[in-house]
Amino acid sequence: MAEVFGTFCLVFFGCASVITGGYGGLLPAGGVGIALSFGIAVIAMAYAIGPVSGAHLNPAVTLGAFLSGRFPAKDVAPYMVAQVIGGILGATVLWVIASGNAAGAPAILAANGWDPVNGYSMGSAFIAEAVATFIFVTVILGVTAKKHETALAGLAIGLTLTVIHLCLIPVTGTSVNPARSIGPALFSGSVPISQLWLFILAPLLGAAAAGLVAKTRIFEKE
């Protein structure tokens, strides 16, 4: 339930900054508002539900934690299912709110995707998502390791997600989280659905690499 709630809040607040907050139409300056919305949501959830579930909020984080040897195999599937459910619920509530606008529901509910019009190819999008997720999960595993553990871990994680958004919103809209992508895509038509595979596969590959690197403990103090 903590993962459902936490992922709900992440998707709801982050995507709402685009849809109801109006930052999506003000890029690049609006990207700051979007980035802060996602980052602050993660910080809030890290401290709110971190003691309950660890506040993964992201199937990629769960996979990375498992492959690093710091998360039990029996909990991987339940966590991922809970996160996807939370993401879908967050997108659903946002869609209901947006539908109450006189203009009607938006055609694309802050869904992720690559757009050749912006000059970025599918390959660029895949690399961006995989590398960004690798960095994000590496930071998470680093600041939550026993030898590095700090009360500021949630802040470091949220700020890392913020800077990732600041850098990559023009490329993919920034996902690094399959649950964040699945929910909005369900309300955004055929194109986001057809591109959804990338926002599942690339983050999972990046997270898997981060988990395996963390397992070597090369970032931990002796």
Amino acid at 213: V
Amino acid at 149: E
**Is there a domain that residue 220 lies in?**
no
Q: Which residue has the higher pLDDT, 187 or 103?
A: 187
**Is there a domain that residue 221 lies in?**
no
**Is there a domain that residue 32 lies in?**
yes
The Cα–Cα gap between 68 and 140 comes to: 11
- Taking a C-beta distance cutoff of 8 angstroms, is the pair 154, 43 a contact? yes
pLDDT at position 106 is 83
Q: Which residues contact 123 (CB under 8 A, 6 or more apart)?
A: none
**Is there a domain that residue 129 lies in?**
yes
| pLDDT interval class at 2 (50, 70, 90) | very high
**Is there a domain that residue 51 lies in?**
yes
Amino acid at 209: A
**Is there a domain that residue 222 lies in?**
no
**Is there a domain that residue 175 lies in?**
yes
**Domain holding 65: CATH number?**
1.20.1080.10
Average pLDDT, the chain: 91
Reported pTM: 0.92
Total domains present in the chain? 1
| pLDDT interval class at 45 (50, 70, 90) | very high
**Is there a domain that residue 172 lies in?**
yes
- Domain hosting residue 157, numbered range: 2-215
CB atoms near residue 212 (< 10 Å) = 13
Torsion, Cα 60 64 65 71, to 10 degrees, reads 90
Q: Does the pLDDT value for residue 49 go beyond 70?
A: yes
Check residue 146 and report its DSSP letter.
T
